[in-house]
Chains A and B, each alone.
Chain A
Amino acid sequence: MAAERNPVSCYLDERTFRLCCQLFLQHSETIKDGWSWEQIKGTDEGFMKKTLLIPVKSSVLHEQPESSVQDEDMVTDNIQANVEDETAGVQAVCEIHAVLRYEYHVLYSFSYQIPVLYFRASALDGQPLSLEEVWRNVHLNYRQRLQQGPWDTLTQQEHPLLGQPFFMLHPCRTEEFMKPALDLAQAENKRVNYIVTWLSVVGPVIRLDVPLSYSTESDISLHYAAK
Chain B
Amino acid sequence: MADDKDVLRDVWFGRIPACFTLSPEETTEREAEPYYLLLPRVSYLTLVTDKVKKHFLRVMKAEDVEEMWLEYEGTPLKWHYPIGVLFDLHASNTALPWNVTVHFKNFPEDDLLHCASNSVIEAHFMSCIKEADALKHKGQVINDMQKKDHKQLWMGLQNDKFDQFWAMNRKLMEYPTEEGGFRYIPFRIYQTMSDRPFIQKLFRPVSPEGHTLTLGDLLKELFPAAICAEGGWHQR
Contacts and interface: CB of A to CB of B under 8 A. Distances in A.
Interface of A: 40, 110-112, 128, 130-131, 153, 155-158, 160-165, 170, 172
Given A40-B196, A155-B123, A131 B114 contact: yes
A111 B195 contact: no
Nearest to B110: A164
Interface stretch (B56-64, B149-157, B174-182, B197-205): B197-205
Given A110-B202, A111-B135, A155-B123, A160 B113 contact: no
Nearest to A112: B134
B112 interface: yes
A165 B200 contact: no
Q: 3 closest pairs, A vs B, by CB? A: A163-B197, A111-B131, A128-B109
A157 B109 CA distance: 12
Contacts of B113: 156-158, 165
A16 B114 CA distance: 34
A153 B200 CA distance: 23
- Interface size bracket, B side: 20 to 34
Contacts of A170: 127
A160 B200 contact: yes
Nearest to A113: B134
Contacts of B186: 111
A111 B186 CA distance: 9
**Which of B127, B135, B186: most chain A CB closer than 10 A?**
B127
A164 B134 contact: no
B78 interface: yes
A202 B27 CA distance: 45
B50 interface: no
Contacts of A172: 130
B110 A111 contact: no
A156 B123 CA distance: 11
13 contacts: A111-B135, A112-B134, A128-B109, A157-B113, A158-B80, A158-B113, A160-B196, A160-B200, A161-B195, A162-B196, A164-B110, A165-B110, A165-B112
Contacts of A164: 110-111
